[in-house]
Amino acid sequence: MAQPLRTRRDLLRLLILISPSLLWLVIFFLLPLLLVFAISFGQRGTYGGVQWTPTLANYARLLDPLYLRIFLRTLFIAGTATVLCALIGYPMAFFIATRPARWRNAFLLLLVIPFWTNFLVRMYAWLFLLRDNGPINVLWTEGIHAAVAWLAAAIPAPFWEPLLQATSTPLRLFGTDGAVIVGLVYAWLPDMVLPCYAAVERLDPRLVEAAQDLYATRVRAFLRVVLPLTRSGLITGSVLVFVPCVGAYVTPDLLGGARTVMIGNVIYSQFMMARDYPFGSALSFVLMALMLVATVAYFRLGGEGGRGRG
Amino acid sequence: MAEYAVELRNVSKFFGSVAAVRNVTLGIREGEFFSLLGPSGCGKTTTLRLIAGFELPTAGEVYIGGELQGDTPPYRRPVNTVFQNYALFPHMTVYENVAFGLRMRRLPENEIRRQVHEALEMVRLSGLERRRPRELSGGQQQRVALARALVNRPRVLLLDEPLGALDQKLRRAMQLELKNLQQQVGITFIYVTHDQEEAMTMSDRIAVMDQGAILQVGTPAEIYECPASRFVADFIGETNLLEGKVVEVWDHHALVLVDGARMVCGAVPEGVRVGQRVTVAIRPERISLHAQPPGPLAIPGIVRDVVYTGADIRYMVRMADRVTVLVRSPNTGNGSTPHFLRNETVYLSWRPESARLLVA
Ligand SMILES: Nc1ncnc2c1ncn2[C@@H]1O[C@H](COP(=O)(O)OP(=O)(O)O)[C@@H](O)[C@H]1O
Ligand SMILES: [Mg+2]
């Protein structure tokens, strides 16, 4: 297969063989991309639509601090969600990988079962949980409030008063960055767990024993052997989580309320509400370029120490 | 100095209801090349892991250098291990692998460099410092594993079938090399193998294990010459095991009736009684064949098969109706041992001490 292409016939045969996938990519990926790229240099028509007079104004508009802030906030939310996914997903992968073989598949199944439900439904479920009169706040304003009141009556102390006051009003959960992060972590956690699990499962437990045999404590064995050998899973998982989080639109729309806006929401509103296709395209393009650069840089970073895996 | 480098006292290890090691008591001397020998699954690896600290005994005590280990973790025990499939760190170079233990003990970097180079020189791997394990041959990986352990100058080195993954020829060469290395560094080696030939070649003493228990401990010669049980006699080298009944006992000798043939045994344990059912163990090279009966005790037989193996000639001789014995006769080429053909009648004889009477 890896022979050099010697004749025109070889080249022709290769072209014929890859033409279906090539065609698919050109029609459904490359052409729309070029279209978006082209539109991003156009101007919004008076009644929507695109006027094809080339301009860089759309890109210049991106330098507006308003959009810079939204970009930064998007990166912050997506980054936090990714870190949380790693903090939860990596230990989870260890937990599953160290169960007896017959339990492992059951745990993996449990992990993905929630995802048989429609994404929107799951986000609405979080909305229901987090809103002011949702179950969490009912527990807070009734259950915990009553408990604090009871304790205050039993043991008089000065610190009950602020607690009583705090529990008398619902917590502000819905409509915050926190709610969006919770929704994103929930939505993308399996994308972190699965690659981590694959990496952990490949890890030979005897390497940990070898490290301990060579005077490494558990912590040092983890840092010197386990972490470097499972880093590829963490890196793949992080990219798989970070990329969709940066582009998230439904989750911030539903859980972020009117206040929290991520770049996905801006793009949506440019296309669907403001009908400013050129500016929306410019936003999309910059976002894509940013993610591409970030992903490549990240894989490079992981590639260094990750090389030499047996 | 403690009497033993490693001592196990009544050590047992259960995995659930499976007894991997049963009531093992063992003393391994300072500077000794000691082998644990037994078939696969007999508990050799578990015994080693109990010494290294990867498993804690269900009962009994482990002492290293005279100190009770209790639940001391592996990283605080003065032993190092060469693992069954080496367990080299795939993400580190040869140098980093060998330096690992020294780094964990926080030695100064220039001292580490000196010792790593010395260790690599000792196993003849100088120049491969920057390779990764997967870029090495099996034999080279084996040497890295050895250097990685030895560089720490442990009190005891544990080796779990270290040559198991190598081909026959390399294995032979490494056996001698390992033995030389051990004598050179003077470290106590505890060597696990299921290959009796390997254990015989390398060890000062051998412990033969079966089903978690130690059956016999001794020098290779003791184990070979004086097996204490049927299992040991059968496991170590080739042997003829013949079932029979004792008809006469006198002065450490016995006459045993084996399917009609009367055999004289010269190594008879105490307490053997007339009428007892016993096993006679006799090595094939200890039987000589004659064309004429050399004495009144010689047993007649018929040659059923002759196999020429080069160094010696192997005869299958039917001694009685149902008993066939293997006889190995050296191919001296000077006529001192006569050759026989298939279906020839021969007479078998042996020194009485060569026929061992086993009751277990
Ligand atoms: N971690 C374990 N869990 C359950 N059983 C084990 C474990 N380790 C070993 N065993 C059992 O203990 C017995 C001895 O195993 P091992 O020490 O590995 O034998 P060897 O090294 O002589 O081949 C075997 O029956 C094996 O199945
Ligand atoms: Mg083993």
- Tell me the per-residue pLDDT of B267-284, one tens digit each, with 9 for 90 and over: 888 888 899 999 999 999
- Which residues of A fall within a CB distance of 8 Å from B80? 213-214
B87 → closest Cβ in A204, A307, A309: A204
Residues B81, A210: C-beta atoms closer than 8 Å: yes
Percent with pLDDT over 90 in chain A: 44
Ligand 1 atom closest to Cα of B49?
Answer: 17
Helix, strand, coil proportions of chain B in percent (round to 5)?
25, 35, 35
B156 and B252 housed in the same domain:
no
* Residue contact A210–B101, C-beta within 8 A: no
Domain for residue A157, yes or no? no
Amino acid symbol at A271: F
- pLDDT for A259: 67
pLDDT the model gives residue A271: 87
B91 vs A305: CB contact, 8 Å cut-off?
yes
**B94 in ligand 1 pocket by Cβ < 6 Å?**
no
Say whether B104 and A305 touch across the interface (CB within 8 A).
no
Q: Kindly report the backbone phi and psi dihedral angles of residue A280, in degrees, each rounded to the nearest multiple of 5, phi listed first.
A: -55, -40
**Chain A residue nearest residue B152, CA to CA:** A214
Contact A192, A90 (CB under 8 A): yes
* Minimum CA–CA partner of B106 in chain A: A215
Three-state SS annotation for B231-251: HHHHHCCCCEEEEEEEEEEEC
Of A131 and B191, the one with more pLDDT: B191
Rounded Cα distance between B146 and B139, Å, is 11
Task: Evaluate if residue A306 carries a pLDDT over 50.
Answer: no
From the CA of B42, give the closest atom in ligand 1. Answer: 22
Distance in Å, CA B206 to ligand 2 centroid: 16
Output the pLDDT for position A4.
61
Average pLDDT, chain A: 88
Q: Residue A162 domain-assigned?
A: no
| Res. A22: pLDDT tops 50 | yes
Q: If you measure from the C-alpha of residue B89 to the centroid of ligand 2, how many angstroms do you get, rounded to a whole number?
A: 20
User: Is B207 near ligand 1, meaning CB less than 6 Å away?
Assistant: no
Please tell me the total count of domains within chain B: 2
B232, B248, B269: which is the final residue of a domain? B232
C-alpha B238/C-alpha B236 separation (Å) is 7
In chain B, pLDDT over 90 holds for what percent of residues? 78
- For residues A220 and B307, what is the distance between their CA atoms, to the nearest angstrom? 59
Nearest CA to ligand 1 atom 6: B15
The bound ligand whose nearest atom lies closest to the alpha carbon of B24 is: 1
Contact B36, B61 (CB under 8 A): no
DSSP H or E segment with residue B303:
strand B299-308
pLDDT of residue A307: 43
Indicate whether A20 belongs to any domain: no
Q: Which of B36, B17, B5, B88 is nearest to B223 (CA)?
A: B36
- pLDDT bin (cut points 50, 70, 90) of residue B11 is very high
- Cβ distance of A216 and B104 shorter than 8 Å: yes
CB contact under 8 A, B104 and A215: yes
Residue B302, beta-bridge partner list: B318, B345
- Tell me if B46 CB under 6 Å of ligand 1: yes
Q: Is A221 among the domain residues?
A: yes
**Minimum mean pLDDT among A145-149, B41-45, B203-207, B345-349: which range?**
A145-149
- Note whether B137 and B224 are same-domain residues: yes
B340 and B291 part of one domain: yes
| Angle formed by the axes of helices B168-185 and B109-122, nearest 10° | 130
Do B64 and B196 reside in the same domain of the chain?
A: yes
pLDDT in tens, B130-180: 999 999 999 999 999 999 999 999 999 999 999 988 888 889 989 999 999
3-state secondary structure of B310: coil
CA–CA dist B158, B160 (Å, integer): 7
What pLDDT score does B345 carry?
93
CATH number reported for the structural domain that contains residue A95 in this entry: 1.10.3720.10
Q: Per-residue pLDDT tens for A169-207? A: 888 888 888 999 999 999 999 999 999 999 999 999 999
The CATH number for B312's domain is 2.40.50.140
Q: Kindly state whether residues B307 and B282 are assigned to the same domain.
A: yes
Q: What is the dihedral of CA B329, B332, B333, B339, to 10 degrees?
A: -20
* Set of chain B residues whose Cβ sits within 8 Å of the Cβ of A217: 73, 75
Please tell me the distance in Å from A101's CA to the nearest CA on chain B: 17
Q: Is the pLDDT of residue B95 over 90?
A: yes
CB contact under 8 A, A213 and B89: no
What is the average pLDDT value for chain B, to the nearest integer?
Answer: 92
Distance CA B131, CA B148 (A): 14
B1 pLDDT more than 70: no
Nearest bound ligand to the CA of residue B161: 2
User: Is B43 near ligand 1, meaning CB less than 6 Å away?
Assistant: yes
Whether the Cβ atoms of residue A259 and residue A111 lie closer than 8 Å to each other: no
Is B134's CB within 8 Å of A308's CB?
Answer: yes
- For residues A26 and A34, the answer to whether their CB atoms sit within 8 Å is no
Residue ending a domain, choose from B201, B232, B263: B232
pLDDT at A167: 85
pLDDT digits (tens, 9 = 90+) for B253-271: 899 999 888 888 988 888 8
Q: Look at residue B105 and give its three-state secondary structure.
A: coil
Shortest distance between the Cα of B151 and any Cα of chain A, in A, equals 10
- Nearest chain A residue (CA) to B75: A215
pLDDT digits (tens, 9 = 90+) for A207-220: 999 999 999 999 99
Residue A2 reports pLDDT greater than 80: no
Residue B303 shares a structural domain with residue B201 = no
Question: B220 and B243 share a domain?
Answer: no
Give the pLDDT confidence score for residue A260 in this predicted structure: 62
Each residue's pLDDT tens digit, B42-91: 999 999 999 999 999 999 999 999 999 989 999 999 999 999 899 999 99
Question: Once rounded to an integer, what is the mean pLDDT over residues A262-269?
Answer: 90
Last residue of a domain, one of B163, B198, B232: B232
For residues B121 and B226, membership in a common domain is answered with: yes
Question: What is the pLDDT averaged over residues B289-313?
Answer: 90
The count of CB pairs under 8 A between chains A and B is 71
Q: Which chain B residue shows the shortest CA-CA distance from A305?
A: B91
**B129 and B158 belong to one structural domain:** yes
- CA-nearest of A213, A218, A225, A217 to B78 is A213
* Residue A18 included in any domain: no
**Reduced to 3 states, what is the DSSP secondary structure of residue B190?**
strand
Atom of ligand 1 at shortest distance to CA of B194? 22
Same domain, yes or no, for B293 and B207?
A: no
Residue A301 has pLDDT above 80, yes or no: no
Residue A5 pLDDT > 50, yes or no?
A: yes
Residues B55 and B146 placed together within one structural domain of the fold:
yes
The CATH number that applies at residue B138 is 3.40.50.300
B152 vs A contacts (CB less than 8 Å): 214-215
pLDDT recorded at residue B296:
85
CB < 8 Å to B165, chain A: none
Please count the structural domains in chain A. 1
Q: Does A50 map to a domain?
A: no
Q: Does residue A124 lie in a domain region?
A: yes
- Chain-chain contact of B91 with A309 (C-beta, under 8 angstroms): yes
Contact call for B104 and A220, based on CB within 8 A: yes
For the CA atoms of B85, B89, B94, B95, what is the dihedral angle to 10 degrees?
Answer: -140
Range of the domain at B262: 238-358
Mean pLDDT of B86-108: 96
Mapping DSSP to helix (H, G, I), strand (E, B) and coil, where does residue B307 land?
strand
pLDDT classification of A153: cutoffs 50, 70, 90: confident
| Predicted local confidence at residue B4, as pLDDT | 93
What pLDDT score does A1 carry? Answer: 46
Residue B17 Cβ contacting ligand 1 at under 6 Å:
no
| pLDDT per residue as tens digits for the range A83-115 | 999 999 999 999 999 999 899 999 999 998 988
Cβ–Cβ under 8 Å, residues B82 and B157: yes
Residue entry with tokens 């390992």: B178
What the block records as the tokens of A294 is 């970030």
Among A213, A217, A219, A232, pick the best mutation site for testing chain B contact (most B Cβ within 10 A). A213
Which range marks the domain in which residue A299 is found? 61-131+173-309
Give the residue, by CA position, lying nearest to ligand 1 atom 18: B45
Predicted pLDDT of residue B165: 83
Best of B8, B17, B18 for a ligand 1 pocket test (most atoms within 8 Å of beta carbon): B18
